[in-house]
Structure 1
Amino acid sequence: MNARTINDRLVAPDATAAESALCYLTAAAGSTGAVLLALDAGFPGLAVAVIALVAFDLCGGAVVNSSLAAKRHFHRPGRTHWHHLGFVAVHVQPFVLALVVPGFGWGSAALVYGLALTGAVAVLGAPQRMRKPVAFAWVTLALLIPVGLPLALAWVTPVLMVKLLLGHLQAE
């Protein structure tokens, strides 16, 4: 697999060099920050490694999903609500974190995942011109709900919501 193919999969087909660079820099910075928080919290090595990967995906993905290249790709003709809902549904990172991170319980994972998935249904069910305001309303209110995550992982819910509801679901 060549570098262009990898970039097409991680960012989007025909992403500019600037879009790609910003996505990768944000992913790396987010991963580094998350690792520092995890180490400071005293999480075990496996948890730190998984947190690093999840943070790379979520932080980089939040930027990717806001890029024009990703908008063209994910909202091209023929894409349906089911494609977008499926994209949200496969983001099971809260459950992966619950497997390995002490203090990240299954109930918290289900709540974070449920907020993202239910938010996606609300956004996709809204008329086109209301999707962005509905997404912002949902994310704003969802972030007021205490989900019971360890402090070192307080970033997970907001970054997941930004990536999926404010990024991916918005066609622009």
Structure 2
Amino acid sequence: MEGVRVATDADLDELVRLAEIARRELGGERGGPMWQLLHGRPDPLPATLLADLSEVESDHGVVLLGTFAAVAGGYAAAHRETLGDGTSIAVVSDVFVEAGFRGIGLGGALMDELIAWARTHDCRGIDALALPGMRHSKNFFERFGLTARAILVHKDLRPAEPISDER
């Protein structure tokens, strides 16, 4: 009963809503604040999602909307990057399923479509990012054959901010 289709400009409000939920959820995870600054979808969300939707028209990227019983419950986006040898790789920038839609196959359907898109566009591989504390995300990607090819490590060099007792 789940469905996945290529998103259009008419889906912008739902895409923004889902991206806002994803941002809040992932921002609280270990590594989430740096992910938001370095890899997360930048503001303003409507403009960056419209830019990704325009990549669909140029065939450089794809934005998918996942539905269950005709209700939007997830989305995914990927684009192609050219490698030094002239081949390309698909890079997943977003894959998110709202909490109430998890466990029904919507995430799997989105990922299947991303992989099919990457194959159709002769990508030699597909990359996605999973935050360090999110074992379920890592397991999800591994179900589709994605395995770690690098581990990114980080150290925050800013001094710790004092905890304020003021409220």
TM-score, L = length of structure 2: 0.29
More helix by share: 1
Please state which structure has a larger fraction of its residues in strand.
2
Instruction: Point out the structure with max Rg over C-alpha.
Output: 2
Compare relative contact order (CA 8 Å, sep 6+) and give the higher one, 1 or 2. Answer: 1
